[in-house]
Amino acid sequence: MSSAVVVEDLGKSYGSVRAVDGVSFAVEHGEIFALLGPNGAGKTTTMEILEGFRSRDSGHIDVLGLDPGDRATERVLRERIGLVLQDIAVEPYLTVRETIARNAGYYPAPRDVDEVIGLVDLGGMEKKKVRSLSGGQKRRLDLALGMIGDPALLFLDEPTTGFDPNARRGAWELVRNLRDAGTTIVLTTHYMEEAQELADRVAVIAAGRIVAEGTPSTLGGRDTARTRIRFALPEGCPVTDLPVVATPPEDGLVTVESAEPTGTLNLLTDWALRRGTVLAGLTVERPSLEDMYLSLTGRDESEPDRPLERTAS
């Protein structure tokens, strides 16, 4: 089978600003794909084009075998995808159950309403008005609306914003279960832990271009990056006495970077044992996904990416 999503040389400009500049990637059936990038990088525009909310200037796009820019097949595509957007317009005076049931009517073969209510942990709240829900409860309702059509492809835009840690982990488990049941998922998030936990593959977009793509563990060469060893310098010991090159203490800890962490650790522990001292606070780690993301993007989050007013229905 062909890929669930194919993007080739996608381009979009706003006047003289090139927001998306030759973006290409593919999402395979049954995987979770995370598109990461700072505000203003072109991420939101790319997602809106895939979802059919915004037209493109150039390039080829295939979503479940259809062109999201083709109005002749718009309804067919809508019936096969689910959307969990940052802001979903819902009627505040409807109950939770009424809201989900109404959206179920938009699809030819929706999931059972009560089943979906249970999956998103809104059991017991079926009769509550939408306006009375907390922020986290409203976000769970958003997830329910994205799932109710039993989509082949689900777009998740910052799906756990407003969740407490327990609710976030519950949502992650739900997303994994959807993937395991065959749903393809395209995810955007600013939580690097979320991308690490969920994504099978990740692409990073910056200044309108894809700058890296891979698994969370290999993105940007993360798996082969130099390891950082940190510990508290023993009292009365200058950093120059160490058997390896180290940076001066920062936050009370020195840092040693090594391409051969096993050998470096052996040198350090042997040195410490011979001196009868302890390497307090010793940690050994490769750069995190967040470290790689920041090095790849190299910019702040201040510039908006021209989002549209979008609704899921």
The reply to whether 237 falls in a domain is yes
Q: List the CATH number of the domain containing 72.
A: 3.40.50.300
Which residue in 109, 134, 108, 103 sits closest to 121, CA to CA?
134
Asked whether residue 65 is domain-assigned, the answer is yes
Kindly report the pTM of this predicted structure. 0.84
Inside any domain, residue 252 = yes
Mark whether 76 and 30 lie in a shared domain. Answer: yes
The answer to the question of residue 90 being in a domain is no
Interhelix angle 165-180/135-147, rounded to 10 degrees, is 10
Judgement on whether residues 174 and 201 belong to the same structural domain of the protein: yes
Task: Judge contact between 186 and 36, C-beta under 8 A.
Answer: no
pLDDT attached to residue 248? 86
pLDDT of 308 above 50: no
pLDDT tens-digit series, residues 13-58: 999 999 999 999 999 999 999 999 999 999 999 999 999 999 999 9
Determine, yes or no, domain membership for 307: no
Strand order across the 153-157 sheet: 81-84, 153-157, 184-188, 32-36, 201-206, 209-214
Tell me: the pLDDT tens digits for 108-157? 999 999 999 999 999 999 999 999 998 889 989 999 999 999 999 999 99
* Mean pLDDT of the 216-232 span: 89
Q: What total number of domains does the chain contain?
A: 2
Q: Which domain holds residue 32?
A: 5-80+152-221+293-297
Say whether both 236 and 187 belong to one domain: no
Residues of the chain with pLDDT > 90: what percent? Answer: 78
In a domain, 309, yes or no: no
